[in-house]
Amino acid sequence: MTSESETRASGYAWYVLGILFLVYILNFIDRQVISILAEDIKRDLGLKDEDLGFLYGTAFGVFYSLFGIPLGRLADSWNRVRLMTVGLGLWSTMTALSGLSSTGAHLAAARIGVGVGEATASPSAYSLISDYFPKKLRATALSIYSAGLYVGGGCSLFIGGLIVQSWNRAYPQGGPFGLAGWQAAFLAVGIPGLVLALVVATLREPIRGAVEGLPEPEKHPAPFRAFLDELMTILPPFTLIGAARLGMRALLVNLAGLAVTVALVALLLALGEPLPQWLAIGIGVYAVFSWACALRHRDLPTFRLIVGTPAFLCTVVAYGLNAFLSYAAGFWAAPYAMRDLGVSAAEAGLILGGQGAVSGFLGVTVGGLIADRLRRRNPAGRLILVLLGATLPVPFMAAAFTTSTPIVLYVCLFGAQFFASWGLGGAAATTQNLVLPRMRGTATATFFIGTTLLGLALGPYLAGRVSTLTGSLSTGMLSLLLTVPVTVAAGIGAYRLVPAAERTREDRARAAGEVI
């Protein structure tokens, strides 16, 4: 017999999910709008394709990843509603300030601010949803929330394209205060988030673990001190101080990781790669290494259930490489349509935005429903959707970025995004089920390391870099398909390992010192 609370969610839970869905829509509008503005930004600021990939992916993604970890820990120990409210206000403000940028460096600084603010959203939201919805509905609920990714991405293209084309037509020499169309678009999409932050602040904070019948964890006595301590383990050069606090051996291990990272970045620079991209990636890789080493010392149960669980890592890598292709296609589709196929900004924004919102929403929702159904019969059933999401989009992607006909591009991108989004809900729910309730914010932050450092910080940039070197955006996108075999291997590994890891979750946590 199962109680109603184990199979159903309250009306208020669905209301909260609706508000969080709106937050995620704004999250991706602010993140993605740069895609439809890319051609104008490139012209006005004198940038190259690789620079655009850096601005969209790396400048945002690396700092989103880094701050996501300490902010994820803060979501585990402090009020998640308040954290999301502050974060929404911050990233909305930084998006608006992007519209005042006059150089690539200024825009990069604003994008970093957007990344830091947005790092509060999903750790808080995933944790809230997991405490409002029972296990049997969790993948569905997370999929609905995650659909905001595609709706927001689609709306950003439509809104951005409409604003930039209308503004440039009305003010060909620059509008009020000398603003160009792309600058006006940033301002227009940033301001509504400040209003939504007031609504988010009214949501109720649920009791952690109550929906699973678990006792409420003790409240952390000093959540912000813990947040600062966590920041010391991940933000260079304070990472060295954080490591030194743990002892000489920890400091030596940290220095060894730093030395290896510096050597690899130096090698890439010697091969002619640009400094900003690989310096940022190097900072991200070293910071994550430093954080993982510190987590092992300070919270062994969390380390064992996240970093020390191969099933968790395989899930992160599998979906992270899926995002590698998805983020690149999502960013470069509009510039490809405008540059290679002669489509206007308004048309590209309307059609690509509309079909992207519909295909992504349908795909992630359908994928979540199928994942939950498969999970009832097979403990690893959700991973089937991750594997399908990595393989089914490949022929659509190849056709989309080799066509010379806009309609073929639109249809193929619809199919690619529909199937690629199948795996998101299942992957997210899998990572949540592999950890204890008090660890969910940290687990979410770790999950998003894969989708940002692997996907967002590398996919759009590498496509742009290959495009710069070859003079072909099509070649840049097609080169990314070489990662698909690695994605499939990681997905198969997760499929084989997840059932045992989930079944032994509490036992492994107790063995690491957790009191349950």
Residue 118 near residue 95 (C-beta atoms within 8 A)? no
State pTM to two decimals.
0.82
Alpha-helical (H) ranges within 171-191 are: 181-190
DSSP 234: T
Sign of CA dihedral 384, 390, 393, 398: negative
DSSP 451-516: IIIIIITTHHHHHHHHHHHHS-HHHHHHHGGGGHHHHHHHHHHHHHHHHHHHHTHHHHHHHTT---
DSSP 290: H
Residue 48, φ and ψ in degrees, nearest 5: -110, 170
User: What residues in the chain have per-residue pLDDT under 70?
Assistant: 1-7, 212-216
Distant-in-sequence, close-in-space partners of 102: CB < 8 Å, separation ≥ 6: 45
Residue 342 structure tokens? 């002669």
> Which pLDDT belongs to residue 213?
66
Q: Which amino acid is at 56?
A: Y
> Which pLDDT belongs to residue 2?
45
- Nearest CA among 119, 147, 190 for reference residue 17: 147
Q: Return d(Cα 82, Cα 75) in angstroms, integer.
A: 9
Place of tokens 């073929």: 408
> Which pLDDT belongs to residue 55?
92
